[in-house]
Every structure is written in C-alpha cells, then in structure tokens.
A and B are shown apart, each in its own frame.
Chain A
Amino acid sequence: MNKKKVLVICGTGVATSTIVMQKLKAFLRDKSIEATLEQSKVSDVLNKAGQYDLIISTTAVPPSMVDKVINAVPLLTGIGKEQVYDEIEARLKM
C-alpha cells in the first residue's frame, strides 16, 4: 500500500490542528496505518491541496478543496468522532 500524504489544517495552524494532529498520530499508530502527516493553516494550502491524498480540517474550506477534506471538529468535541475515524481509515486504505 502506498504511503498516503495527509494534511491537517485549521484557521491559524496553531491550536486545533495541533490537537487533531496528536489524535491522528495515536489513531494511525493504533491501526498500524502508515501515512505522512503535515500541519498547516487553511490559507497556506489553497494552491497546494493537490499534493495531498487527504486533508483533515477543523475549519470550513473553499469549495475547490471539499472533495479531499474530512471535517475534524468531532475529534475536538467527541460528538460523532467514531464516524470521522472510520472515514479517515477508509480513505487511507483506498
């Protein structure tokens, strides 16, 4: 399986993406899924979205990016997080 490139973003690239990053690392380790993880803010990736297999975002993204993006807010609030983890796993195993 090819190692997928995953980008974690939020509005500032400072707080919420750091939390999501941590949770994602633990989840991937747990599932033995290998992936390259990067962290950034949404305004920095508008033209680079194509470089990633999957983008995990805590903030709303422009329509051009929507297809690649999973909304990570449930990982912050805990509400609906199982679905998000399932979707991440499915997308990374494609």
Chain B
Amino acid sequence: MSLSEYIGKDHIRIFEESVDQAEVLHQLGDMLIQTGAVSIEYMEAVRKREQAFPTGLYTGEVNVAIPHADPENYVKQPAIALGVVRKGVAFRNMADPTDDISVQLVFLLAPERGETQLVILEQIMNLIQDQANMRQIMDAQGTEDVWNVLGQLVQVEEKL
C-alpha cells in the first residue's frame, strides 16, 4: 500500500487562513473519526501525547509535524490525515520541547503496532527529507491535487 492510498482523498485538508494547533488537530482528527479510522479517544490521546512529547520537526523551508499516539484499541483502521497549513502553525520541537517550530505540513498518524506500518512511515520520512517534494505539495491547489502529487512522489521513490 502506498502513502497516497493510506491517506486517501478524504483525509486531506488545506488551511488557507491562520489557525492554531488545537484547531488543526481537531479538524484532522474529525476526518479520521468521520471515516471510522479512529475513535474519539484516540484524538484525546494524541493531544496529551503532543503536550508531553511534541512532534514538530525542522526539515528546512517547509517544516513538518507528525502528531500520533499509541494506537491501543483506538485505531480501527490504520490511516493518516494530512493538513496543509499555508500560514504555518506552531508545534513544539520533538528534540527540544522549549522550542516552537512553524510547520506547514501536519501528518496526523493513526498507526498500527509493529513493523507492518514501517513501509508507510518510511515513505513519509523519505518524503520529508526532500524539500522539493514538500514544495510540490505546498504548490498543489486543492485537496485532489495534493493527493495526486503525493501519489506521483511516492511512485518516483519506489522506482529509485
């Protein structure tokens, strides 16, 4: 399964206006709850975990956050929701929680346990290690376009 299939067109949201972290998590979480991927408790766990162990990452011009929690029994169907935040939203730095990072791509992960999720996680890591990829996602207009770009990027990586 590739990243774009995992995310799905229903799990992408573009935030054009200024927005705070709580609102981004709320809206991304709602998409996962709506499609039955996770229960409401999962999002509560994600918020708590983000407080204790933040997930913002400096990746260059376009920074990233990967909020997630222990799936426990809350993840029904492993999935990812992607938020494209045009004006950036503050997430604290994974490596240094005293530091705020303005991130533009938020991957809300609803993982499964163990190594089965590894392929997807590695696809995300490969994606975020290349700023050209991130700019392509930022340049996409509309959720369908974002989804198409994701599909193309991952295909290219698989060929390499």
Binding site for B on A (CB under 8 A): 10-16, 18-19, 22, 41-42, 58-60, 71, 73, 76-79
Number of A-B contacts (CB under 8 A): 68
Task: Name the contact of B96 in the complex, choosing from A13, A41, A60, A76 (C-beta under 8 A).
Answer: A60
CA distance A3 to B129 in the complex (A): 32
B151 on interface, CB distance cutoff 8 Å:
no
Task: Name the contact of A79 in the complex, choosing from B55, B58, B113 (C-beta under 8 A).
Answer: B58
Interface centre among A10, A14, A58, A78 (most CB of B within 10 A): A14
Contacts A16-B66, A59-B94, A77-B58 given; indicate if A11 touches B53 (C-beta within 8 A): yes
Q: What are 13 A-to-B residue pairs whose CB atoms are below 8 Å?
A: A12-B68, A14-B68, A15-B117, A15-B121, A16-B94, A18-B115, A19-B121, A22-B115, A59-B53, A76-B125, A78-B59, A79-B58, A79-B60
| Inter-chain contact B49/A12, CB cutoff 8 Å | yes
B57 on interface, CB distance cutoff 8 Å:
yes
Contacts A58-B94, A77-B128 given; indicate if A14 touches B58 (C-beta within 8 A): no
B-side interface mostly:
loop
CA distance A32 to B63 in the complex (A): 34
- Contact code string B108-119 (vs A, CB < 8 Å = 1, else 0): 010101110110
CA distance A42 to B96 in the complex (A): 15
Number of B residues contacting the other chain (C-beta, 8 Å)? 29
Binding site for A on B (CB under 8 A): 49, 52-53, 55, 57-60, 66, 68-71, 94-97, 109, 111, 113-115, 117-118, 121-122, 125, 128-129
| Inter-chain contact B113/A14, CB cutoff 8 Å | yes
Contacts A11-B53, A19-B121, A60-B97 given; indicate if A78 touches B129 (C-beta within 8 A): yes
B9–chain A nearest beta-carbon distance, Å: 23
B18–chain A nearest beta-carbon distance, Å: 25
| Inter-chain contact A22/B122, CB cutoff 8 Å | yes
| Inter-chain contact A79/B115, CB cutoff 8 Å | no
A42–chain B nearest beta-carbon distance, Å: 7
Task: Name the contact of A73 in the complex, choosing from B70, B95, B109, B113 (C-beta under 8 A).
Answer: B95
CA distance A41 to B53 in the complex (A): 11
A11–chain B nearest beta-carbon distance, Å: 3
CA distance A39 to B122 in the complex (A): 17
| Inter-chain contact B109/A15, CB cutoff 8 Å | yes
A50–chain B nearest beta-carbon distance, Å: 22
| Inter-chain contact A10/B53, CB cutoff 8 Å | yes
